[in-house]
Structure 1
Amino acid sequence: MNRLPGLDLLRALAVTWVMLFHSFLVGGLGDDFAWLSRFGWAGVDMFFVLSGFLIGTQWLKPLAAGEAPRFRAFYARRAWRVLPAFLVVLAVYVAFPAWREAPGLQPWWQFATFTVNLLIDYARHPAFSHAWSLCVEEHFYLLFPLLAWGLARRRSVVLTVSLCAGLAMAGVALRTGIWLHDDATSPDRAWYVEDLYYPTWTRLDGLLAGVVLALIKVYRPQHWARLMARPAAALLLGVTLITAALWLFRDRTGLPANAVGWPLLSAGMAGLLVAAASPRSGIGRWSLPSVGWVATLSYSLYLSHKLVMHAVDQALPTSVNGGWRFVAHGVAILAGGAALHYLVERPGLKYRDRTSAATATATATASAGATARSARSAA
């Protein structure tokens, strides 16, 4: 899929927003910059919507064309995309406790199996806890192709729409039930994070919103064309819904926000994505080199930024604060993310692309040979 400048802009804004939020969790920039971190957690939901749309489109397009699903190739590409940089950062967290932003770390195997978001003891082991969102993404990569393949075989619009609506309503009901139970029993642990914020089954709204857009683009191209023709309306709707959701999230751990705030926020970010994907919109045409570069680094930045923040805090004297501390964090985070990207992530992607091309060539050669043999037999 070709890179779209507008989607790069959303990705760059999302990772920047998340890092600003996390800077305060590790004691970062000081009270003068507190306004930057408000609602910074919402950047993760933008990543979810982007993933649902991009991965959904990538997988659904060949299915819609009647091609056989290539599960092995899909999972191999996802593994080479995710694992090299992730395993390097995990190794640093495990091998060098002093480098962690917090002392406690869940067992390594929970990270390696992408189950840490379901098993974490957040109060005692918060280090590298931002891997929770990667766990959600990995569960999506694992299950979505199977589900989409099953639905494609049925070719039922009613079933697909019912399933999407059912998942959204089930999320509202599940989060409501969990919140009411935990609020009444007040368990002696960080129940909001462990039961509501991190688990995959409570955080499907963003991925679902992105997949719905992918379904429209692939199976209803005429509807997608109409959306692309109205980017201003999509942007206005998106901003309105996001504003309403963030108003609910004034009490971030409250029931209204956690019951309906997540689908509302995801729908709003889906509106931003439509506007950003349209070549008719201003944000869809912005192609700034720095934005594209940050978007390219976004995965490595996401993985490494807490380690870098902690290192900066340890290195800087307490007298350095305010704007200078902000600059030091920013420069160091970009340098650390760039190093991880160019030394680990990018070589892995290049190897993936080479092996994918070689496999495609071998498959095409074998297919051509089989066709020729069939033709000779028929003659």
Structure 2
Amino acid sequence: MASVDTLIALEKQGTSARIYLDALTGLRGIAALWVALWHLWGFAGRPAYGLDVAGLHLDLTPLVRTGWAGVDIFFVLSGFVLGLAFCQAWLNNRPPVKPAEYFRRRLLRVLPAYYAQIIVLIVVTLLLGAGFPPVGDVLAQLLMVHNIFGSPATQLNPVFWTLPVEFDFYLLLPLMALSITPPRWYRLLLGAMLLVLVYRYTMFHFVLRDMPVGLKSWWLNQLPGRLDQFVAGMLAAWLFSLAREKGYEASMLYQWRRGLLVAGLSGFAALAWYIHALQPIGAVNALGLTYWGGHWSLFVWNSLAGLSIAMVVLALALGIRWANMLLANRSVIYLGLISYSLYLWHFPVIKWMHQAHLPRLFENAPLFNSLVWAVLPVLLISSLSYWYVERPFLRIRHRQPKS
């Protein structure tokens, strides 16, 4: 089996901008792991979770219950990584991005592991005697249009909702890329944030107000409801490219990188704490409004989170030694390499493990008990998906097409 260094070399070969950053691969792995931990926490009954250290009790429940925000990190990272190739082309450091090659690489990156899982899930459904899923629902998921012609209940895997959101962004990126040129780049960000605010506010008040929370979440998170996060990542890529063009150490951004990291982490932590403590999802606040009942945070939380994450991504890209020690070590990088398969497979595996009614080894720690039983199967199946489905197609994806 190839070493992590060999896998990293394959990853570097596949970066269309020819810029590979270990810390961002590690961040991708942490994001996938965070989403998995959140789902694991849900299956464990959503218990309070904390640690006692040196006589102090650390409440880690906010950290666990906001694991869904790992998806926000994915969206910002997509905007950054994919935007880099266009930024390098604008600065004449790379040839212009060819649309046919761009879409070929995207399809080979996303579809093989996705299609393989759909086949496995259908086979498992048949083996369990549930019958073949409705053909129309399966076809919609195969074509990545289940965000329009489907619903949360028709998905084979609950995490599938993010894939058409990403795919729609892939389709829009070449057009949006035309707007990231001085002095117009800020207009794209402001325009995206305004569009998202109008979309979410209008959809909620005129379409979704009386619908179940599941449908509110489904429709508010479709594009353009998350466009601002992709754009925040794109603009971080543009600023990074400008700093790289001038030479990192000569750029003002390089001098500010630690401040950017602190500001981004602080902003994101404050937003997560707010959701947990001041505006708990499902609980009524002092004004009598829940988050899903129309509180102002419903319309701007993701925009603010996207800006905070973009600052973190930009700081990591510019290089911070201690952050690289945490995110660019071999273990975390490996999680980043298998993060797509980890994201796809964690939910069904955790669900199957939960349905198996495995023994409770730790009666007073349900989350830890679930973690003990689920972590190895999730990592094993995710690794198998990466090695035997993703990796062969990544090799094909990285081949230069004949001119």
Same fold (TM > 0.5): yes
**Distance (Å, rounded) in 1 between the aligned partners of 2:346 and 2:295:** 31
> Is residue 304 of structure 2 the alignment partner of residue 264 of structure 1?
yes
**8 Å contact from structure 2 (residues 188, 231) kept in 1:** no
**8 Å contact from structure 2 (residues 195, 224) kept in 1:** no
> Is residue 67 of structure 2 the alignment partner of residue 40 of structure 1?
yes
Q: Which residue of 2 aligns with 1:299?
A: 340
> Is residue 111 of structure 2 the alignment partner of residue 112 of structure 1?
no
- Which of 266, 269, 274 pairs up with 1:243? 269
Q: Which residue of 2 aligns with 1:368?
A: none
Secondary structure, aligned partner of 1:62: helix
- 1:155-211 deviation line (CA, Å, top 9, x unaligned): x63444323311111111221222223465x136733222213x1211112211100
Q: Which residue of 1 aligns with 2:164?
A: 135
- For residues 131 and 188 of structure 1, do their structure 2 counterparts lie closer, same or farther at Cα, with a shift above 3 Å needed? closer
Q: Which residue of 1 aligns with 2:226?
A: 203
- 1:36-59 deviation line (CA, Å, top 9, x unaligned): 631111000011111100100023
- For residues 158 and 277 of structure 1, do their structure 2 counterparts lie closer, same or farther at Cα, with a shift above 3 Å needed? closer
- For residues 223 and 240 of structure 1, do their structure 2 counterparts lie closer, same or farther at Cα, with a shift above 3 Å needed? farther
Greater mean deviation of Cα atoms: 16-25 or 289-298? 16-25
- For residues 214 and 10 of structure 1, do their structure 2 counterparts lie closer, same or farther at Cα, with a shift above 3 Å needed? same
**Distance (Å, rounded) in 1 between the aligned partners of 2:155 and 2:108:** 27
- Give the deviation of 1:248 after TM superposition: 4.3
Q: How many residue pairs end up in the alignment?
A: 349
Q: Which residue of 2 aligns with 1:311?
A: 352
> Is residue 106 of structure 2 the alignment partner of residue 78 of structure 1?
yes
Q: Report matched runs for 1:332-347 at 5 Å.
A: 332-347=377-392
- For residues 51 and 263 of structure 1, do their structure 2 counterparts lie closer, same or farther at Cα, with a shift above 3 Å needed? same
**Distance (Å, rounded) in 2 between the aligned partners of 1:230 and 1:208:** 21
Q: Which residue of 1 aligns with 2:47?
A: 31
- Give the deviation of 1:16 after TM superposition: 0.8
Q: Report matched runs for 1:44-193 at 5 Å.
A: 44-65=71-92, 67-97=95-125, 107-122=137-152, 124-125=153-154, 127-148=156-177, 150-151=178-179, 157-182=182-207, 184=209, 186-187=210-211, 190-193=214-217
- For residues 293 and 228 of structure 1, do their structure 2 counterparts lie closer, same or farther at Cα, with a shift above 3 Å needed? same
**8 Å contact from structure 2 (residues 196, 227) kept in 1:** yes
Greater mean deviation of Cα atoms: 259-268 or 215-224? 215-224
Q: Which residue of 2 aligns with 1:233?
A: 259
Once the two structures are aligned, what percentage of the paired residues are identical? Answer: 25
- Give the deviation of 1:327 after TM superposition: 1.4
**8 Å contact from structure 1 (residues 228, 278) kept in 2:** yes
Which structure has more helix as a fraction of its residues?
1
So what's the TM-score if we normalise by structure 1?
A: 0.82
- Give the deviation of 1:32 after TM superposition: 5.9
Q: Which residue of 1 aligns with 2:57?
A: none
Say which one has the larger Rg.
Answer: 1
CA RMSD of superposed structures (Å): 2.8
**AA at the equivalent of 1:338:** S
Structure 2: gaps (5+ residues): 1-17, 50-59, 282-291
- Which of 226, 230, 240 pairs up with 1:217? 240
- Give the deviation of 1:9 after TM superposition: 2.7
**Distance (Å, rounded) in 2 between the aligned partners of 1:326 and 1:57:** 37
**Distance (Å, rounded) in 1 between the aligned partners of 2:104 and 2:323:** 33
**8 Å contact from structure 2 (residues 26, 332) kept in 1:** yes
Secondary structure, aligned partner of 1:157: coil
Secondary structure, aligned partner of 1:200: coil
- Which of 340, 348, 351 pairs up with 2:393? 348
**Distance (Å, rounded) in 2 between the aligned partners of 1:23 and 1:180:** 33
Greater mean deviation of Cα atoms: 8-17 or 334-343? 8-17
Q: Which residue of 2 aligns with 1:375?
A: none
**8 Å contact from structure 2 (residues 201, 299) kept in 1:** yes
**Distance (Å, rounded) in 1 between the aligned partners of 2:369 and 2:69:** 26
> Is residue 375 of structure 2 the alignment partner of residue 330 of structure 1?
yes
- For residues 329 and 163 of structure 1, do their structure 2 counterparts lie closer, same or farther at Cα, with a shift above 3 Å needed? same
Secondary structure, aligned partner of 1:96: helix
- Which of 14, 33, 37 pairs up with 1:16? 33
**Distance (Å, rounded) in 1 between the aligned partners of 2:255 and 2:163:** 33
**8 Å contact from structure 2 (residues 29, 339) kept in 1:** yes
